[in-house]
Amino acid sequence: MRLIIAEKPSLARAIADALPGRTQRRDGALEVGDTWVSWCLGHLLEPAPPDAYDPRYKQWRLDHLPIVPERWRLVPRHKARGQLKVLRELIKRADSLVHAGDPDREGQLLVQEVIEHLGWRGPVARLLISDLNRPAVTRALDTLQDNRRYQPLYEAARARSRADWLYGINLSRAWTLTGRQAGHDGVLSVGRVQTPVLGLVARRDIDIARFEPRPYHVLWADLSVAAGELRAWWQPQEHHPLDDQGRLLARAPAEALLAHLPGAEGRLTQLDARRKRQNAPLPYSLSALQVDAARRHRFSAQQVLDICQALYERHQLITYPRSDCRYLPEDHRAGMGALLERAGAGDEALRGWLTGADFTRRPRAFDDARVGAHHALAPTGKPFVPERLSQPEAAIYRLIARNVIAQFYPMLETREVKAEFTILDETFRAQGREILVAGWKPLFTSRDEAPPLPPLTEGEPVTVADAGIDDKLTRPPEPFTDASLIKAMMNIARYVEEPAVKRTLRDTDGLGTEATRAAVIETLLKRGYLVRQSGNLRATATGHALIRALPDAATRPERTALWEQRLRAIAEAGEAYQPFLDGLLADLRELLAAADAGRMRQALGETRGLGPAPKKPTSRKPASGKQSSGKQSSGKQSSGKQSSGKPASKKAKASSRRRRSIQSGSSDTPGKSTRRGTRRATRQGDDT
């Protein structure tokens, strides 16, 4: 009997439907001839909690840290025991096994860890599916690979999971305990990705709060030229009072020049006219789609991910969505025209876009050298019927289809002109842009283009027809939104100061991964470190206090972005994962040594009233299998005041004992729900 283990039931159903023969439903599996298809439910296993290694760790004590397992253990998730039992029985009967996890790092881990946990010792084949339509699944079944080829991907995922456990368990315990010594009642969770993301937002909020607007002044002149009129702007010189962006901070120099400008004559001293050609924006990766959807439709990053999962699994309209790639395989190009025509026949917008596409073109987006484990998001070819989808689902599908269709449009061709004029021995500049070939541009809405300049000839005379001064104020940085925060995580090198690290990070994946960035933002929101205000993301007082209390290295992106680079090297270049964990442990010990109640007390005092209040949780218990929100870690629970109905005097005595223990600096035993909360916070392994 052949056993195929899929990552989730929807994938299992797609595989069973593509197999020859009649499908029979069984308990936790599907039977098709001699093949059984079963599934995981996300992660069936999770890293064992600290007290599974030593019962002493049920009590939270600073002198226990760092907690480092000598031999790592996995334990079944509570609600996964039934499906794990089904897989155990099927594996005993199987004579061949197929791994059908999603084609990414986490998909490789969650199926392979089950296979190893259940003791399978035979060879394993790998089934890679990025499109749930039957023809695509059939092709994948015909091209099974050896799972050993993907062992580096598994090693990278396992290293990431263990790193997150070590980082989250140890630092969360350390700062929770020091926080309580400083008077903060609640769990303070720290994660290798979530905390630097929180740091980005908190620092941006501080920059906005500290910002003092300054006036600056712009002098313009309307110039008459042989073929018409244009507006040019004066370029102050270095001896004028300028800010770091070259803006004039004093009005007097502009006023002095303005007094002599009306009717003044000058000359066009430098003309630069260039014809430019621009390719269409590439098909989407998940993060690029999240950025565009947030800007265009104000969808959160998590909304976009959820919609993409529905389009992939339920509707089978798009290919695998959790992709970090923006290129498509070359062998997809030949059939893409027919595929898109079939997909878009029922939608007016898509039909309109398809009329201008030339499917004989050879777009740069089709490039095997740029495609890794998965390719860019694309339609599957299944007919798109908007009435069968929600409006958000239809909107996201159209974005995905549009970017693929645009690859078959001509390039955008423009003529860009920069002109420099000398008037009264001062420099004025103007620029314009003329669209020569619209190409793919009509498929995209964008900001207004700079109007074209009239025809110009270098050396021609000009006369000032009018002039004036615009008085303006410098503006603070914009608060982060879902779109700008996802973009910041993608391009994290912009937020790094050290030149050598900045150069290295330009070539890496950034902060977090395609699959985790949305979850990181949602986790920070659920734990009360961020809130949404009018579409903006702002840090709460608790979030600000945590960032101020932690060592700077734990709140900045350099370290964790470099860790992602190391994980990528493990996955793609086969590097050993133990040196990565050894380096992490060295960093961890250094960070733990910086845990200080005095610094925490000062941070709590400085940030009291800073930032908006977090929204109150709507539920005490997060649903099983979902990332912990920290909701269970309210002040009452974390101080040991259980809602058990016991007399208040007993609870007060227990609280008093705990406070004395904290003040001694040696230990604290969080309430039962707090321990569970910290376990939940590390279960998913994406970040803590």
- pLDDT tens for 122-140 read 999 999 998 888 888 999 9
669 contacts: CB under 8 Å, gap ≥ 6:
58, 59, 60, 640, 658, 661
CB 29 within 8 A of CB 129: no
16: part of which helix (H) or strand (E)? Answer: helix 9-18
Catalytic residues: 320
What does the pLDDT read at residue 560? 79
Question: What gap in Å lies between CA 670 and CA 677, rounded to an integer?
Answer: 10
Strand-pair partners of 434: 415
Tell me the pLDDT of the chain averaged across its residues. Answer: 87
**60-86: average pLDDT:** 95
Between 406 and 680, the more confident residue is: 406
Among 68, 426, 431, smallest CA distance to 265 is for: 426
Considering only CA atoms, give the Rg of the chain: 30
Which segments within 578-685 are labelled E, that is strand?
Answer: 667-668
Q: Contact at 8 Å (CB) between 216 and 454? A: no
684: pLDDT strictly greater than 70: no
User: Any residues with CB less than 8 A from the CB of 447 and at least 6 apart, and which?
Assistant: none
Query: Quick one: pLDDT band at residue 653, thresholds 50, 70, 90?
Result: very low
552: three-class secondary structure by DSSP: helix
Secondary structure letter of residue 212 according to DSSP: -
Do 392 and 400 meet the contact criterion of CB atoms below 8 Å apart? no
**Which residues are within 8 A (CB) of 674 and not within 5 positions of it... i.e. 6 or more apart?**
187, 632, 633, 637, 638
Instruction: Compute the distance between CA of residue 32 and CA of residue 20 in angstroms, rounded to an integer.
Output: 7
- Residue 338 has a pLDDT of 95
pLDDT 10s digits, 183-212:
998 899 999 999 999 999 999 999 999 999
* pLDDT confidence band for 447 (50 / 70 / 90): low
Residue appearing with tokens 């600056």: 216
pLDDT value, residue 502: 74
Residue that the structure tokens 């995209």 belong to: 444
Write phi, then psi, for 601 (nearest 5 degrees): -60, -40
pLDDT at residue 492, rounded to an integer: 85
Distance CA(50)–CA(58), nearest Å, equals 7
611 Ramachandran zone, left/alpha/beta (phi>0; psi -120 to 50): left
The string of DSSP letters for 506-555 reads TTS--SS-TTTHHHHHHHHHHTTSEEEETTEEEE-HHHHHHHHHS-HHHH
Indicate the SS3 state at residue 38: strand
C-alpha to C-alpha distance for 554 and 543, rounded to whole angstroms: 14
Integer angstrom CA distances of residue 671 from 26, 632, 633, 634: 42, 10, 9, 10
Q: Are 34 and 146 in contact (CB under 8 A)?
A: no
Count of H-run helices and E-run strands, the chain: 24, 20
Copy the structure tokens of residue 227: 């073929």
Amino acid identity, position 112: Q
Neighbours of 368 (CB within 10 A): 11
**Which residues are within 8 A (CB) of 194 and not within 5 positions of it... i.e. 6 or more apart?**
520, 523, 524, 529, 687, 688
Q: What tokens appear for 597 in the block?
A: 């109640």
Contact 187, 529 (CB under 8 A): no
pLDDT band at 48 (very low <50, low <70, confident <90, very high): very high
**SS3 label, residue 473:** strand
State residue 163's pLDDT score.
94
In this predicted structure, what is the pLDDT of residue 194?
Answer: 94
Rounded to the nearest 5 degrees, what angle is found at the Cα of 141, between the Cα atoms of 137 and 142? 120
pLDDT surpasses 60 at 582: yes
SS3 507: coil
- Name the β-bridge partners of 224: 229, 463
- Cis-peptide, bond into residue 66, ω within 30° of zero: yes
**Secondary structure of residue 441 in the 3-state scheme:** helix
Best CA proximity match to 313, nearest among 154, 138, 129: 129
Structure tokens at 210: 């500290």
What is residue 615's predicted lDDT score, i.e. its pLDDT?
63
Q: What percent of the chain has pLDDT over 90?
A: 74
β-sheet with 530-533: strand ranges across: 480-481, 536-539, 530-533
Quick one: pLDDT at residue 627?
35
